[in-house]
Amino acid sequence: MNCANQRDKITVERYLQMLKNDELEGDLTAIFGRLRNTEQFWKKPRNDVNCMTQNYGPATWFLTMSPSEWMWEDLGEYIRQVNGVKMANKTISELVALDPVSTSRIIDNKFHAMLDLITSSDEPLGKIIHYFWRREYQSRGAQHFHLMLWVKDAPILHKSSIDEVASFISKYVTCAIPKKDISPTLHQRVTSYQMHKHNSYCMRRKKTKKGFVSVCRFGFPRTVTDSLIIRDIFQTIAARKTLSSNNRLYNIVRSKESDMINDYNPALLLAWNGNIDIQYVGEKTAILNYYVTKYTTKSEKTHASDMFNDINSTKSLRSRLYNIGLRVLANRECGALEASDTLLGIPLYGTDPQTTIRWLDVNIHRNRRVKSKSEMTGLDPNSTDIYYDSWIDNVYPARPDELKDMNLFDFSKDYDLVNTRPVSNKVEYYVLANKKYLKKRDRPYLINHYLYDVEQMPEKYFFSLLLLFKPWRILDDLKMQHETYTETFNAVKDDLQEALRYGNLRTELRNILQTAFEKVEEKVAELNEERENIVDEGPDNPLVFEALEAVNAMEDLNNFDLVEADISEMNEQAMIDKLNSDQKKVFDTVTNKITNKKEILRHFVSGTGGTGKSYLIKTLKIWIKNNLHKNVAITAPTGIAAFNVNGLTIHRLLQLPVEHKQTPKYKPLSDEVLQVLRTDLKTVELFIIDEVSMISNVTLAYINLRLCEVFDTSDVEDGWFGKKHILVLGDLLQLPPVREKSPFEKLTPSEINKLIGSLSIPNLWAELFTYDELTLNMRQLDDSTFVEMLKRIRVGVTTQSDRDILSNRLIPLLSHSNKGRLMEIAQCLRDLPEDTVCLLPTRNMCMQLNDAMLKAIPHPEMKLVAKDSLDCSKCMITKARACLQKYEDDASMTAGLEETIIIKEGAKVMLTRNIDVSLGLVNGSIGVVQKVRWDPEDRTKPKQLVVKFANNLIHELLPIKSKFEIIPRAYVYREQFPICVAYALTIHKS
């Protein structure tokens, strides 16, 4: 479809020539109106709902229904019946995945059955006279439904009394937990579907004067009250915007036992057999309806429209392709159920049968639909008849004489243009000159059009009123010899009382809503001022957490800067003078690229152990601090490696997902954490990653995505790694990543799809990084024999002399049994200095040697048992506990916290978490247990471990609490001491 301004008198010949020369190309935004779930697609439904609000008043209820398809036995039976015996032994979840088409049909049928119930004479929510519904998709999961419902004669807040509104809400909504012996089915559905459990999605961090608290975005636990409480609407919205307490418009009667139960309607919950959420939104200013409409008609997250904007932009082809490629990485995934709905033609939204909306373009200069190219070629080349007929420009001006005094508004509301003569004699119709028929409707349209502001656009405002309410045949006659439409309207306004009432009502509704917005902003300002002036105790019943992990990480990063802040410029120059030729070459490369600002540094420096990488890192940091007054973020893949260079682990700095035996998927940061990182990392000029050999290709991709996310460079040319300078150091011939591929290996399409959820990603290592090498060993200067042997071992080549040297250091074992050899190794280890650590290749070998060493200590054993709590629905508890038991000997699946730890006083232990980086208490730090302090109220429960670390540092270690996902949608909160016995360590851990 091509559009052009109808005022342009374009001939057929000129139009076809312009089409041939591509002169009619514009942006592609209009095309997206046909693409489901884009922002442009939802623009019309959003306007329609606003039109319904203007004509019907505010909606009464906002209802959300989410299916619990894995619990729907009838769904499973239907899919098995349709697909035959091959599906007989499949679970419902497997059936849904294998046959999404049947699943979509069943869910759609169930929804329409619910719609019939809601609008039935049973009136479970009152007599519904109008409704709007929308189908939405939960990520790649099942559909859920949002409904706005208008109830006949429902009370409206600020028009009706508070008691009337409270009585109305209480009549249809409850949060009570039914007694199991009286209503077993309803009891099961309330406890299964309506009971809220906190998780990472619902919790939002909030900073108060007393520290950070974690607030549930859904307001749980809810306020316990003996009577229904209704709050000020503006205060409520402001409280929600600022994560303050009392952020719900009302609280229904609630006992303590139901403070985690979401509001529900019993009849709907029984019929739907899945989660529902129902909220009263009938409020005079319609500000609640504004937010509900915006939420209900939001588009799915996608970058498609931005992508096509790039296609239409004037940027270079390279820039456009680059930006499109970046967006492909972040494009929204379309689940099988959404794809099925699309293929089946199942609509995404709908209204009640009584509501049909007609859009009228009331702009002074309207676009017209151009005839197709095939039709054009059959016309006279000099003809200007290139447009299809339109309602305003052709149908209304040519209306029958019987309707000559009817204005455009009433004409559009009551009549349709049809191609066939109406059959019924009761239908009023007129025969038109073009052999079409004008038929009067049984139910009038709601008329929707753009609403102009009389203050800002008076000419367009008064033109629209004249166009709609003053009968006319020729559009140019609307001005009636006046210079402006404003003058014309003022001259005839006494004859256009309907237009005055209509315009004044629309203006009044707009002003009421605008005033409501201003009141909300005033309340927001008041709440923010109160927060600054008083100690905020936090919301009702908050869950108080330790300081946000991201905040702690940033504080540790800043602490490292404070430690080195006293280094003077003289010391800086002295450090530079000590650089060897290799180090100086790298130093100059890095500093020159950073200072000239012509290109971004992405540089890999290779070097074996002892070639001065750590010294080079420190020198670069001091130079950047003193000369550029910027910061350097130093990172490494493990806690010990990070401690050695005064840095943080890369996972902690960038809040990357941590592996628990399997590679985790990439997850974007919450708004709160993202803001913390943006604030503290904005002064970082250079990111350094040491020991890059242990950074996998997946982690490298995650680092790129996270930095792009933090610095918002996904749409920026050459925006890789947040468009920040990156220096990575290490020896790729040393230890590779655990269970993953090296950073230089390209990710496979299946890995990209599974872990990142995008179509492709370039080989970041090969395409972006330049190379340099440190070759001069600065550590073993006095032992050239050892240095040269290490170099040969590094590349897998040894001489006979090397083998002789290594053989002389073998520990002879006399026993032939595994147990006997283990005892010999343990005895040998006890004879060595106390700080000796044995390095072994596997966790199992370490476990056996640690047990042997522990048994030799002449002190009683002490058992540290983890405290676990499950966060999942009741139907998943048994399965989750079984999986947790299966992993009791594998801490890699339980966030690094053991289920049971056996220790003794005098035992050597290692930290498995970073406790205090500034003190060197990092993941991998080794100490000796000095004492166990027990809980005075429970002598079987240890309260603290007193551990002596290096440099005689005594630290009182406390249990920590960590969360991990044991199976999909089932989480475990484990509280345990972050240690393990550490006479023997894996090579990677060291």
963: β partners: 973
On whether the CB atoms of residues 958 and 944 are closer than 8 A, the answer is yes
| Per-residue pLDDT tens over the stretch 637-662 | 887 788 778 888 888 888 887 665 56
Residue 325 has pLDDT above 60, yes or no: no
Q: Which residues pair with 206 in a beta bridge?
A: 213
Strands 602-607, 725-730: parallel, antiparallel or unpaired by DSSP?
parallel
Q: Looking at the predicted structure, is the pLDDT value of residue 562 above 70?
A: no
User: In this predicted model, what pLDDT tens digit does every residue of 438-449 receive, in sequence order?
Assistant: 999 999 999 999
More confident residue, 105 or 304: 105
Q: Is 330 helix (H, G, I), strand (E, B) or coil?
A: helix
Digit-coded pLDDT (tens) for 332-373: 457 788 889 888 999 999 999 999 999 999 999 888 888 888
Q: State the Cα–Cα distance between residues 766 and 960, nearest whole angstrom.
A: 41
pLDDT at 670: 74
Residue 299 confidence (pLDDT) above 90:
no
Domains of the chain: residue spans and CATH: 549-774 (3.40.50.300), 832-986 (no CATH)
Burial per residue of 80-112, b for 16 or more beta-carbon CB atoms within 10 angstroms, e otherwise: beeeeeebeebebeebbeebbbbbbbbbbebbe
pLDDT digits (tens, 9 = 90+) for 128-150: 999 999 999 865 568 899 999 99
Q: CA-to-CA distance for 764 and 750, rounded, in angstroms?
A: 17
- At 693, the amino acid letter reads S
Q: What pLDDT was estimated at residue 952?
A: 83
Reference 648, options 896, 916, 961, 947; nearest CA is 916
pLDDT at position 706, please? 92
> Would you say 280 and 165 are in contact if contact means Cβ atoms under 8 Å apart?
yes
At residue 570's C-alpha, the angle toward residues 568 and 573, to 5°, is: 115
Token output for 353: 């049968």
Pair of tokens at residue 742: 């090296």
Q: Is residue 704 over pLDDT 80? A: yes
Confidence (pLDDT) at 112:
96
pLDDT attached to residue 927: 92
> Quick one: 808 exposed, middle or buried, by C-beta within 10 A (0-12, 13-18, 19+)?
exposed
CB 369 within 8 A of CB 171: no
Indicate the pLDDT class of residue 918, thresholds 50, 70 and 90: low
Q: Could you tell me the pTM of the whole model?
A: 0.56
- Reference 414, options 448, 444, 449, 447; nearest CA is 444
pLDDT over threshold 50, residue 570: no
Looking at 534-568, list the stretches that DSSP marks H as alpha helix, in order from N- to C-terminal side.
Answer: 549-563
Model confidence at 206, in pLDDT bands (50, 70, 90)?
A: low
Q: What is the pLDDT of residues 749-800, one digit of tens each?
A: 878 777 776 656 788 898 999 999 998 877 766 777 888 888 888 888 889 9
**Residue 273 pLDDT > 90, yes or no?**
yes
CA Rg value for the chain: 36
365 in Cβ contact with 385 (< 8 Å): no
* pLDDT(218) > 80: no
pLDDT digits (tens, 9 = 90+) for 507-553: 888 888 888 888 888 888 877 766 555 433 333 332 223 234 666 67
CB 582 within 8 A of CB 616: no
Distance (Å, whole) CA 877 – CA 869? 10
Q: What are phi and psi of 427, to 5 degrees?
A: -85, 130
The whole-number pLDDT of residue 140 equals: 53
Alpha helices for 716-816 (secondary structure H) = 749-751, 764-768, 784-794, 800-807
**Which uninterrupted H or E stretch holds 986?**
strand 984-986
Tell me the CA distances in angstroms from 434 to 417, 438, 542, one per residue in order.
11, 11, 70
State the pLDDT at residue 318.
Answer: 46
Confidence band of 437 (pLDDT split at 50, 70, 90): very high
Residue 613 pLDDT more than 80? Answer: yes
Vertex 407: Cα angle to 405 and 411 (nearest 5) = 105
**Rounded-to-integer distance, Cα 611 and Cα 856, Å:** 41
The confidence score (pLDDT) of residue 539 equals 32
Cβ neighbors of 381 (< 8 A, separation 6 or more) are: 11, 12, 13
What average pLDDT does this structure show over 957-967?
A: 82
State what percent of residues in the chain have pLDDT above 70. 86
Q: Which of 125, 152, 137 is nearest to 62 (CA)?
A: 125
**According to the model, what pLDDT value does residue 560 have?**
64
Tell whether the model's pLDDT for residue 931 goes beyond 70: yes
Per-residue b/e over 650-670, b at no fewer than 16 CB within 10 Å? bbbbbbbbebbeebeebeebb
Taking the C-alpha atoms of residue 614 and residue 729, their distance in angstroms, rounded to an integer, is 9
Between 280 and 140, residue with greater pLDDT: 280
Task: Kindly state the average pLDDT of the residues 570-578.
Answer: 83
pLDDT tens across 577-593, in order?
A: 999 999 999 999 999 99
* pLDDT in the model for residue 513: 86
User: What share of residues in the chain are helix, strand, coil (percent, to 5)?
Assistant: 45, 20, 40
Report the pLDDT value the prediction gives residue 534, as an integer from 0 to 100: 41
Q: Tally Cβ neighbours within 10 Å of residue 748.
A: 11
DSSP 427: S
Tokens 């468009």 appear where? 723
pLDDT digits (tens, 9 = 90+) for 410-429: 999 999 999 999 988 889 99
Q: What is the mean pLDDT of residues 856-861?
A: 91
State the alpha helices, DSSP H only, in 34-189.
39-56, 73-83, 92-98, 100-118, 162-172, 184-189
Strands 684-689 and 543-544: unpaired
pLDDT of residue 546: 28
pLDDT in tens, 798-826: 899 999 988 888 888 888 888 888 999 88
Query: How do residues 56-100 score in pLDDT, each as one tens digit?
Result: 999 999 999 999 888 898 999 999 988 887 788 888 888 888 899
- For residue 971, give Cα distances in angstroms to 422, 870, 877: 63, 6, 10
CB 203 within 8 A of CB 269: no
Q: What is the pLDDT of residue 22?
A: 62
The pLDDT score that the predictor gives to residue 305 is 46
**How confident is the model at residue 205, as a pLDDT?**
63
User: Tell me, what's the pLDDT at 438?
Assistant: 95
pLDDT of residue 333: 57
φ/ψ of 721, rounded to 5, equals: 55, 40
pLDDT at 548: 44
CB 830 within 8 A of CB 856: yes
